[in-house]
Structure 1
Amino acid sequence: MTRLARQLKDLTEGKETEKKYFKLIKWLQKKKILAKKIKCNKCDRGEVSFTLDIRQIFGYSRCQRRHIKVKKSIRDRSIFSRSKITLFNWLKFMYRFCQGLRLRQVDMMEDGITGSSTSLTKMAKKIREVCVAAMERLKRRTGQRIGGQRQFITIDESNFRHKRKYGRGRVAGAWKRKKWVFGMLGVYKRDTRTKPVLRLVERRTRRDLVPLIAHHARRGSTIISDEWRAYRQLPQLGYRHFTVNHSVSFVDAQTGAHTQHIERAWRTYKERVWRLRGNRTEELLRDHLAVIEWQEWLGQCHLNGHLGRLFHDIAKLYKV
């Protein structure tokens, strides 16, 4: 457990008192998740200092100059804005999200974090928006490129199909929803770290897959795939391409090439999406794929783990 996670557990565990609530607000202000100064709309002098009233659940701030009746929530412009969930429960939810714990409504209700699926859906959506925005910034800054001398790349396509609960229900209509996801996995040669690139595609044709490979894979990289015909053009684009015939064996007898890294990753990714019911719509599936990328690209590289990176990205997206 990281130092940040221990601090968070110390602040949120136990009885929720006014003193503890005030301490939590100060801690969030230090992390730049809550504002230290709030602007009064009726004052001409910009940001003003405030007095904190924690007797109410939202923690109101009052103008100390002339407008005594003017008050704003301490949550104004933050990720907690317009939410009735307490800060304690919000942070407990963030902790569970970053630790990869189960986020089912039943579990949340048992722990007292939320009492309805609607609240849980809104909280999860805000967290996903933070992760998606962070990945968009990464793409603009670096292009999200993989490969090179330190990595080899395994590529594959997988069908993310909507599953019926317990195998029951109508087979027609909504139960036929399925999407092809094209995955590129950059695998470091000296350790087990991986960098996934996951994209929704309409078809598995060369016209759909090769441009994605050319955009994300560095020239001269080693690429391993099955013998799908859409990949036959890769050597002409400057890549070292090894294939394995899955109808014969899972490991090529001559080169030793295999795609087990990405095959194993598909199982993990599908379990995450299925557990969070992330395949109900195309937009929702795309967001969940971005969250998986965020966990591997950004969360694992931060000094304080996924939680530290989440706080960093919240402060980037919500300018308080």
Structure 2
Amino acid sequence: MNLGLLETTLNSTEAVVEFCQERSLLPTSVACPKCQTHCQLKKREQVKDGFAWRCRNSRCRSWISLRHGTFFMASKLTIKVIIKLIYLWAFEMATENNVRRECGISSSHTITDWKNFLRDVCLDYLRRHPRQIGGPGHTVEIDESVFNRRKHNVGRLVEPIWVFGGYDPAEKEGFLVTVPNRNAETLLPIIKKYILPGTTVVSDCWRAYNRVGSEGFSHLTVNHSLHFVDPITKATTNHVERMWKEAKQRNKRECGTNRELLETYLSEFMWRQKFGHNPFVSIINQIAEGYPVGKELLSTSSENPLLPTLPLQSVENLPVELKINIDCSLPPFKHY
């Protein structure tokens, strides 16, 4: 679906509601929160969405917002504009100029908040579907790389952020984890958490990897001071090095990344590696999964911790349980 076809599909308020109901973004029926009577979806010109739920009980007759308890609940944008913004983000076209032109959003803060929020949807999905990579007969290359450092050692001092990662070239799967340091006590538990026993692990000669072979893995090394591919074992870390290059490309395009948001950008990178072949359908399906709607009206006290925290605030203000920490970092991605 291209942007023109999406615009044609969403050519009326009725079409927007139908589009969202078919994809489980809006409920097809709700119960009145006051009297539990089944509600009817009716046109209502006073609201931006053009529709609202009306209680059938003659003694109640309450109006309930179309978007109450849904992904769209706390936003002031129309549902049509939100869908178009999601489309632009999915296909990496959500520059500020594009969003202003296509969606009519004038606020830079609103655009930034929505992009932050969609990265949180990626993170939420990846954390709900964790998995290990590798296994017997598989090779996983591991390496660490520094993010957010001074260029040419010029400018103010900044604390470097280290990211540890692994990549299975056969399955095109990998993982990225921020780490406080690169010692064995930090890296070995992460290796055991994300890589299946029996995997052949390939690394450089960094001393923190010396005990990998005694942790249930076969261990091969490559000495980068001599060659990139070991002439005897053919071991190489070229694939994981390429992963670093791809992960850092966005940083270069944007002239850097907010340190506090780095882990959410890593989650977006892994999400795009896994779902980049069909990003719009994938993100819509995952929003529906993360924000379930059913026959009963959802309340804002839903068990889904994301529900009350829609993108009218920046990611720094998200509840603590939504932020990634070092102990529960990002699960593997799949590269298509």
Give the alignment's TM-score, normalised by structure 2.
0.77
- The CA distance in 1 between the partners of 2:252 and 2:118, in whole Å, is 18
Q: Which one of the candidate residues 263, 266, 269 is aligned to 1:292?
A: 269
- The Cα shift of 1:77 comes to 1.8
| Aligned residues with identical type, % of pairs | 27
- The Cα shift of 1:85 comes to 2.2
For residues 198-244 of structure 1, the C-alpha deviation after alignment (integer angstroms, 9 at most, x for no partner) is: 11100000011011101111111111111111111111122121111
1:10 has 2:1 as partner: no
- The Cα shift of 1:60 comes to 3.6
1:106 has 2:106 as partner: no
- The CA distance in 1 between the partners of 2:84 and 2:255, in whole Å, is 21
Q: Which one of the candidate residues 173, 184, 188 is aligned to 2:166?
A: 184
Asked if 1 retains the 8 angstrom alpha-carbon contact of 2:84 and 2:103, the reply is no
Q: Which residue of 2 aligns with 1:92?
A: 84
- The CA distance in 2 between the partners of 1:251 and 1:113, in whole Å, is 52
Give the alignment's TM-score, normalised by structure 1.
0.81
Q: Which residue of 2 aligns with 1:70?
A: 62
- The CA distance in 1 between the partners of 2:87 and 2:137, in whole Å, is 33
- The CA distance in 1 between the partners of 2:59 and 2:247, in whole Å, is 53
**SS class of match (2:203):** strand
Asked if 1 retains the 8 angstrom alpha-carbon contact of 2:29 and 2:39, the reply is yes
Residues 113, 181 of structure 1: alpha-carbon distance in 2 compared, 3 angstrom cutoff: farther
- The Cα shift of 1:162 comes to 5.4
Q: Which stretch has the larger CA shift, 178-187 or 82-91?
A: 82-91
Q: Which residue of 2 aligns with 1:252?
A: 230
- The Cα shift of 1:95 comes to 1.8
1:134 has 2:120 as partner: no
Residues 315, 67 of structure 1: alpha-carbon distance in 2 compared, 3 angstrom cutoff: farther
Amino acid at match of 1:311: I
Looking at both structures, which has the greater relative contact order when contacts are Cα pairs under 8 Å and sequence separation is at least 6?
2
Asked if 2 retains the 8 angstrom alpha-carbon contact of 1:162 and 1:280, the reply is no
Q: Which residue of 1 aligns with 2:299?
A: none
- The Cα shift of 1:83 comes to 1.5
Q: Which residue of 1 aligns with 2:206?
A: 228
Q: Which residue of 2 aligns with 1:30?
A: 22
- The CA distance in 2 between the partners of 1:196 and 1:13, in whole Å, is 38
- The CA distance in 1 between the partners of 2:134 and 2:50, in whole Å, is 49
- The CA distance in 2 between the partners of 1:96 and 1:269, in whole Å, is 20
- The Cα shift of 1:32 comes to 0.4
Asked if 1 retains the 8 angstrom alpha-carbon contact of 2:13 and 2:49, the reply is no
- The CA distance in 2 between the partners of 1:195 and 1:53, in whole Å, is 49
Asked if 1 retains the 8 angstrom alpha-carbon contact of 2:85 and 2:103, the reply is no
- The Cα shift of 1:113 comes to 4.7
Amino acid at match of 1:184: G
- The CA distance in 2 between the partners of 1:229 and 1:163, in whole Å, is 25
How many positions carry a matched residue from both structures?
291
Amino acid at match of 1:171: G
Residues 13, 160 of structure 1: alpha-carbon distance in 2 compared, 3 angstrom cutoff: farther
**SS class of match (2:129):** helix
Q: Which residue of 1 aligns with 2:282?
A: 309
- The Cα shift of 1:289 comes to 1.5
- The CA distance in 2 between the partners of 1:119 and 1:43, in whole Å, is 36
Q: Which residue of 2 aligns with 1:172?
A: 156
- The CA distance in 2 between the partners of 1:145 and 1:95, in whole Å, is 30
In structure 2, runs of 5+ residues without a counterpart are 294-336
- The Cα shift of 1:54 comes to 5.5
In structure 1, runs of 5+ residues without a counterpart are none
Q: Which one of the candidate residues 39, 43, 62 is aligned to 1:48?
A: 39
Q: Which residue of 2 aligns with 1:204?
A: 182
- The CA distance in 2 between the partners of 1:48 and 1:235, in whole Å, is 63
- The Cα shift of 1:115 comes to 1.6
- The CA distance in 2 between the partners of 1:288 and 1:116, in whole Å, is 22
Amino acid at match of 2:177: R
Amino acid at match of 1:134: Y
Residues 67, 28 of structure 1: alpha-carbon distance in 2 compared, 3 angstrom cutoff: farther
- The CA distance in 2 between the partners of 1:199 and 1:268, in whole Å, is 15
- The CA distance in 2 between the partners of 1:184 and 1:279, in whole Å, is 22
